[in-house]
């Protein structure tokens, strides 16, 4: 019987209260309420394009700003990803994706290496999209990479519409992660000559 790759995370601090469930072998079904409409939209896209089922509820200190909510959701999601993928036996490990979003083109390349690293290139021209600070978009992916122990290289290759850039980022990371966590029918162990990731 195939092992379920599901993780449940509860994260409570003085700044946020998060309940999250992630299924890596889902169909893209979501139930998301972060309190930030644009972030809900982006996480829906991430799950849909990754074929992940994601249930997420967060009550955060949005009366201050979007920082704590966005960061803590990324940390919880990264922890769930690390837990759900487990020992990484039989997965492809690497994933990449180019996503065009109208005039913008985004590239994501990642490695579920166990070595957290985040490299970003690109820029936004406006301070916010909806109620989400654009600087928090980059911080989200950095926190996700750190908590999941993933190496993530993410680039806005070109484009001028910030909504399109951000949408392409979440879609491309979702698609790259889907490729990385897929089971390779030819591989039984981890994709490492060291024998461990």
DSSP 70-121: HHHHHHHHHHHHHHHHTT-TTB--EEEEEEEETTEEEEEEEE--S--EEEEE
pLDDT value at residue 1:
47
Task: Give residue 3's pLDDT.
Answer: 79
Class of domain 6-181: alpha beta
Element (H, E) at 11: strand 6-12
Quick check: pTM over 0.85?
A: yes
Domain ranges, ordered by start, for the chain = 6-181
Contact 151, 122 (CB under 8 A): no
pLDDT in tens, 31-62: 999 999 999 999 999 999 999 999 999 999 99
CB of 111 closer than 8 Å to CB of 172: no
pLDDT at 195: 84
Residue 113: name the closest of 196, 15, 17 by CA.
196
Q: Name residues of the chain where pLDDT drops below 70.
A: 1-2
CA 140, 23, 105, 115 torsion: positive or negative? Answer: positive
Condensed to tens digits (0 to 9), the pLDDT of residues 172-189 reads 999 999 999 999 999 989
């Amino acid at each position: 019987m195939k092992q379920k790759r599901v993780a449940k995370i509860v994260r409570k601090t003085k700044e946020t209260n998060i309940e999250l469930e992630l299924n890596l072998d889902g169909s893209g079904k979501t139930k998301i309420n972060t309190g930030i409409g644009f972030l809900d939209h982006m996480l829906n896209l991430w799950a849909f394009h990754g074929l992940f089922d994601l249930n997420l509820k967060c009550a955060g200190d949005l009366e201050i700003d979007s920082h704590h909510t966005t960061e803590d959701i990324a940390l919880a999601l990264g922890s769930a990803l690390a837990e759900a993928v487990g020992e990484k036996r039989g997965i492809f490990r690497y994933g990449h994706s180019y996503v065009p979003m109208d005039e913008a083109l985004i590239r994501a390349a990642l490695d579920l290496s166990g070595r957290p690293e985040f490299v970003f290139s690109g820029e936004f021209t406006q301070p916010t999209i909806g109620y989400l600070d654009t600087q928090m978009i980059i911080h989200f992916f950095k926190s996700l990479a750190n908590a999941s122990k993933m190496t993530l290289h993410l680039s806005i290759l070109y484009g001028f519409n910030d909504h399109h850039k951000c949408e392409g980022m979440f879609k491309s990371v979702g698609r790259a992660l889907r490729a990385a966590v897929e089971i390779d029918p030819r591989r039984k162990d981890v994709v490492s000559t060291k024998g461990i990731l």
